[in-house]
Structure 1
Amino acid sequence: MPSPDTLERFIAMVEANDHVQAVLDFYTEQSTMQENQGTPRVGREAHANNERRVMAKARDVRSRCVRPVLVNGDHVVIRWIFRFDWPDGTVTHMEELAWQRWAGERIAEETFFYDPAQMKPRPASEVPQA
């Protein structure tokens, strides 16, 4: 079960858009990460590499935790809002729920639930601010 301080440090790092470091600091070495019902990625390095790829594509990223964060023992649910500004001027606004199972102070398993239709970039004028 994560301590309240650990959970707050994790959220602050993601909100600061330091997604790669958040993975390195807060996930177990053999953690799994799954998008909706897709095939899980396995391993902290695979997660960090995926974050590096996504961040490298974006001109700007804004990440926000919508509270309250739900905690029940080793399980945590966080509602996130992300805004990705792409080099071509389009924007992706995405809301998701992250279901996490923690092993002590690190995330061992995470599944993201979101509507895949949100992934389509749209003109910035059509997208709410994150």
Structure 2
Amino acid sequence: MPSRETVERFIAMVEANDHVRAIEEFYTEDASMQENLAPPRVGRDVLVVHEKAALARVQSVRTHKVRTFLVDGDHVAIHWIFDFTLPDGSTRRFDEMALQTWRGEKIAMERFFYDPATVK
């Protein structure tokens, strides 16, 4: 079960746009991430590679300050809002809910829920 302080440190790292380091430091070696109904990606190294590739496809990311998150035992819910600037200068807002299962002080499973129409 994560402490509230650990979850707050994780959120702060993501808010600082240090997304890759957040995965490296806060996810278990066998962690999984799943987007909506897509098959999960499994393994921290796989998650890092995927995150680096996603970030390489955009010009910049602005992570909004988290206003809503809940910690209930091993379960955490975070409402994220990201603004992505694409290589052509256009922007997209990405509004998602992340549901996480923690194992101790690390994330073991995460599933994101968002409107796929926002990621065209």
TM-score, normalised relative to structure 1: 0.89
Distance 2:49 2:59 in 1: 18
The CA RMSD measured in Å over matched residues stands at: 0.9
1:104 aligns to 2:104 (yes or no): yes
* CA deviation string 1:17-63 (max 9, x = no partner): 11000000000000110000110000001111111001111111011
Q: 1:68 and 1:18 mapped to 2: Cα distance? A: 20
> Is 1:40 paired with 2:40?
yes
What's 1:128 paired with? Answer: none
> Where does structure 1 differ by over 4 angstroms across 4 or more consecutive aligned residues?
none
Aligned to 2:92: 92
TM-score normalised by the chain length of structure 2: 0.96
Structure 1 portions without partners, runs of 5+: 121-130
CA distance in 1, matches of 2:70, 2:43: 25
Deviates more, 1:26-35 or 1:62-71: 62-71
Q: How does 1:1-130 map to 2 (within 5 A)?
A: 1-120=1-120
Q: Which runs of 5+ in 2 are unaligned?
A: none
Query: Mean Cα displacement is larger for which, 49-58 or 20-29?
Result: 49-58
Q: How many residues align?
A: 120
Distance across 1 between alignment mates of 2:34 and 2:113: 9
Partners of 1:34 and 1:40 within 8 A in 2: yes
Q: Give the whole-Å Cα distance in 2 for the aligned partners of 1:43 and 1:58.
A: 24
User: What percentage of aligned pairs have identical amino acids?
Assistant: 56
Q: Which has the larger radius of gyration?
A: 1
Alpha-carbon separation, structure 1, partners of 2:46 and 2:65: 23
Contact 1:14 1:22 in 2 (8 A): yes
* Contact 1:65/1:78 (<8 A) preserved: no
Contact 2:85-2:91 within 8 A present in 1 as well: yes
State the shift of 1:93 in Å: 0.7
